[in-house]
Amino acid sequence: KHRVFSGIQPSGGLTLGNYLGAIKRFVDMQDQGIETLYCVVDMHAITVWQDPEALRRQTRELAAGYLAAGLNPDRSILFNQSQVPEHAQLGWIFNCVARMGWMNRMTQWKDKAGKNAEKASLGLFAYPSLMAADILLYHATHVPVGEDQKQHVELTRDIAAKFNNDYDVAFFPLTEPVIEGAATRVMSLRDGSKKMSKSDPSDMSRINMTDDADTIAKKIRKAKTDPEPLPDTMKGLDDRPEARNLVRIYAALAEMTPDQVLADFGGQQFSAFKPALVDLAVDKLAPISTEMARLMQDPAEIDRILAGGAARARAIATPILERTYDIVGMVRG
């Protein structure tokens, strides 16, 4: 039986990378009729400093983004992590299963802590262990994520395997990452070697889900490219990361393969391709940002949906946590 879990941090506004790499695929999986749980991982967000008011707003905005993109709270379980305390409880147990060396090897830890690891929070170091708890608390079998999260899902498998081995049980599943589609790693519009990210200091590097049509048009017009026309197949873009990124974005938005896009645009200049990409992006993103703005006018309704989702999530999580405590040897009264 399939069960899907995934989450996004409310650590800023949503980007086109989050949409194409994650949310759009969350909706596809829901629509395939799979059991799906989608989380706003607020406890992950505070591994780096978050202003409390901003965190509250971003949590609701991310929930609004999920809903506006097509997640249906009757079909998917939508909730925020801190309302299901079992995540933290299982996370602690996994802190005692995972090894320091495993965490030390995580590229996200190395990127985010940088040379100043002494000053990073303990939570940032333990991030992948809490992420393993997020997933395994529901015995999730599949996790749709962007390319950058692959290593963390593999670590989740390592934690599950070590737990099962240490306690001689076949309890936690070995969860599969699901990384598919044309845009599993959307790159910065300013630098084709960097991931598009909500925390990039340059707003021109990313398209935000709340950008209006003029802003989207300006950012795509100014996106870095090269002077060559587009080739006929993706092979021709091997050494052209910025051009490759725009073709992949087009493909993901249009639900085509990148080679199909080049079958239409091969031989053409960016002066022809970019306006087509602007039209497509505005066409796909404007309805979502309009709906997000509408939903944000009623934060109490968003809070009600998150609380309802949390209650449903807890109903799945509680027996799994209780059984975990039992396996570990915790006395229950």
Catalytic annotation, pick one of 162, 194, 198, 224? 198
Query: Is 119 annotated as catalytic?
Result: no
Query: Between 248 and 274, whose beta carbon lies closer to ligand AQP?
Result: 248
- Taking phi over 0 as left and psi of -120 to 50 as alpha, with beta for the rest, 329 belongs to left
Residues 150 and 184: beta-carbon distance below 8 Å: no
**CA gyration radius for the chain?**
21
Q: What is the DSSP annotation of 49-106?
A: ---HHHHHHHHHHHHHHHHHHT--TTTEEEEEGGG-THHHHHHHHHHTTS-HHHHHT-
Catalytic annotation, pick one of 24, 195, 219, 274? 195
Query: Between 66 and 163, whose beta carbon lies closer to ligand AQP?
Result: 66
Tell me the CA end-to-end span of the chain in Å, nearest whole number: 32
* Interface residue list for ligand AQP (CB under 6 A): 8-9, 11-12, 15, 17-18, 21-22, 145-146, 148-149, 184-186, 195-199
Query: Between 243 and 324, whose beta carbon lies closer to ligand AQP?
Result: 243
Tell the smallest beta-carbon distance from residue 298 to ligand AQP (Å). 24
Residues 27 and 259: beta-carbon distance below 8 Å: no
Residues 260 and 247: beta-carbon distance below 8 Å: no
Residues 132 and 155: beta-carbon distance below 8 Å: yes
Residues 19 and 209: beta-carbon distance below 8 Å: yes
Tell the smallest beta-carbon distance from residue 48 to ligand AQP (Å). 8
Residue 227: count other Cβ atoms within 10 Å of its Cβ.
Answer: 6
Residue 163's identity, in one-letter code, is: F
Tell the smallest beta-carbon distance from residue 138 to ligand AQP (Å). 17
Tell the smallest beta-carbon distance from residue 325 to ligand AQP (Å). 28
- Bridge partners of 142, per DSSP, are 4, 176
Q: What is the DSSP annotation of 243-287?
A: HHHHHHHHHHHHT--HHHHHHHHTT--HHHHHHHHHHHHHHHHHH
Tell the smallest beta-carbon distance from residue 17 to ligand AQP (Å). 3
Query: Is 198 annotated as catalytic?
Result: yes
Residue 254's identity, in one-letter code, is: A
Query: Between 186 and 317, whose beta carbon lies closer to ligand AQP?
Result: 186
Catalytic annotation, pick one of 112, 150, 162, 218? 112
Tell the smallest beta-carbon distance from residue 199 to ligand AQP (Å). 3
Query: Between 90 and 186, whose beta carbon lies closer to ligand AQP?
Result: 186
Query: Between 5 and 172, whose beta carbon lies closer to ligand AQP?
Result: 5
CA 96 to chain centre: 26
Residues 127 and 7: beta-carbon distance below 8 Å: no
Query: Is 194 annotated as catalytic?
Result: no
Residues marked active site are found at 112, 195, 198
